[in-house]
Amino acid sequence: MVNIDWSSLGFQYMDTRCHVRYVWRDGKWSDGEEVSEPYLNMHIAASCLHYGQEAFEGLKAFRCKDGKVRIFRPQANGERLVNSARRTCMAPVSVELFVEAVRRAVRANEDYVPPYGTGGSLYIRPLLIGTGPQLGVAPAREYTFIVMVMPVGAYYRGGLKPVRALVVEDYDRAAPRGMGDVKVGGNYAASLYAHEAAKRAGYPVELYLDPKTHTYIEEFATSNFLAITKDGTYVTPDSHSVLPSVTNNTLQQIAADLGMRVERRPVPFDELESFAEVAACGTAVVATPVYEITRGDKVITISDPETSGPVLQKLYDTVQGIQYGVLPDKHGWCVDI
């Protein structure tokens, strides 16, 4: 057994038993291997280093109430990586290879999955990079696909904690027809500067507007935007430059299952003050309630800074219930390892 203090886990890198690694050469993937050294010996002209041929994913495995470990919606992440690989001209990872690689990495590190009841989970980070040397600008001819895993702690101990957000006016994270809808590291590099500035100003999350007109809400830097209207409708922006979040998709389905109306549509910034609840959603934390949003001199208060709204809490509890095998998994989201 591994010796980890599950109660003090945060969200940070830690060595585990191994990661799994596949290499694409001569038009096909290797059989993959389990590698214990957390280093990669790479050509200095690798295309990921120079031209940003890189895409990644993020998903989780949970130790369920019955003791079994299950992965949450790996096919959905696999489909997204297929799209990322296409858009960045990288070697195709099929959904089948993706799911098998993820299961293999989790199986090999099963004792790193936090016990049921600790609120922790195993974070899974698949990574696809161009590793072939490429000086002229063109897709590389060699790729490496890695799946690494890491135990992470409960983000919220004792209830959801609402935060305030800042609207980013001086920068955009994506262009109107750019790569905003593709999960690539470049989008993160593009948002770090504004993120650090927002953090210094006391805002843990930043909200981006549509890059063309800055009149519609897009998403937070690393998580989607969702709102609950005063009459209980789930609203989330529909935009080409928003990353299709698996968590958002899951929450929309759960909201519909609970009998709520779900709207995916352009969301004007001016509509913000009419919402009853707002949240940032993504795999790492499921949903972070946002109680206040600042844009320039204007501060828009949405909800009580002390507690999560009732609808968000219900959605959050339902997702977690399904992930930990406490509520029925009627959509077949949880995959055995």
List residues with catalytic annotation: 183
Beta carbon of residue 247, minimum distance to ligand PLP (angstroms, whole number): 3
List the x/- string, 261-300, binding to ligand PLP by CB under 6 A: ---------------------xx-----------------
Q: Which of 246, 285, 293, 319 binds ligand PLP (CB under 6 A)?
A: 246
252 binds ligand PLP (CB under 6 A): no
The crossing angle, in degrees rounded to 10, of helices 74-87 and 95-108 is 120
Site for ligand PLP contains 224 (CB under 6 A) = yes
The 10 Å Cβ neighbour count of residue 295 is 17
CA distance 40 to 202: 37
Bridge partners for 156 per DSSP: none
How many residues of this chain interact with ligand PLP, rule: CB under 6 A?
14
Q: Report the residue number, 239 or 248, with the smaller CB distance to ligand PLP.
A: 248
Q: Give me the torsion for CA of 332, 106, 122, 8, rounded to 10°.
A: 150
Query: What's the Cα-to-Cα distance from 322 to each of 11, 51, 61, 214, 337, rounded to whole Å?
Result: 22, 40, 12, 37, 16
Window contacting ligand PLP (CB under 6 A); options: 32-40, 137-145, 238-246, 304-312? 238-246
SS3 71: strand
Minimum CB distance to ligand PLP smaller for 42 or for 262: 262
Between 79 and 100, CB nearer to ligand PLP: 79
Q: Does 179 bind ligand PLP (CB under 6 A)?
A: no
Q: Is 172 near ligand PLP (CB under 6 A)?
A: no
Among 223, 236, 303, 323, binds ligand PLP (CB under 6 A): 223
Could you tell me if 51 and 38 are in contact, meaning their C-beta atoms sit under 8 angstroms apart? no
Answer yes or no: are the C-beta atoms of 52 and 26 closer than 8 Å: no
Q: What are phi and psi of 248, to 5 degrees?
A: -60, -45
Question: Looking at 96-104, 153-161, 218-226, 315-323, which segment touches ligand PLP (CB under 6 A)?
Answer: 218-226
256: helix, coil or strand? helix
Report if residue 222 touches ligand PLP, rule: CB under 6 A.
yes
Please give the residues from 180 up to 199 whose contact with ligand PLP meets the rule CB under 6 A. Answer: 183, 187
CB of residue 197 vs ligand PLP: minimum separation in angstroms? 18
The nearest distance, CB 168 to ligand PLP, in angstroms, is 13
From 263, 285, 79, 91, select the one nearest 182 (Cα to Cα): 79
Which of 131, 134, 144, 247 lies at the binding interface for ligand PLP (CB under 6 A)? 247
Contacts to ligand PLP from residues 37-76, by CB under 6 A: 58
Burial per residue of 111-148, b for 16 or more beta-carbon CB atoms within 10 angstroms, e otherwise = ebbbebebbbbbbbbbbbbbbbbbeeeeebbbbbbbbb
The nearer residue to ligand PLP, 126 or 282, going by C-beta atoms, is 282
Q: Residue 23 CB, nearest distance to ligand PLP (Å)?
A: 25
DSSP state of 265: E
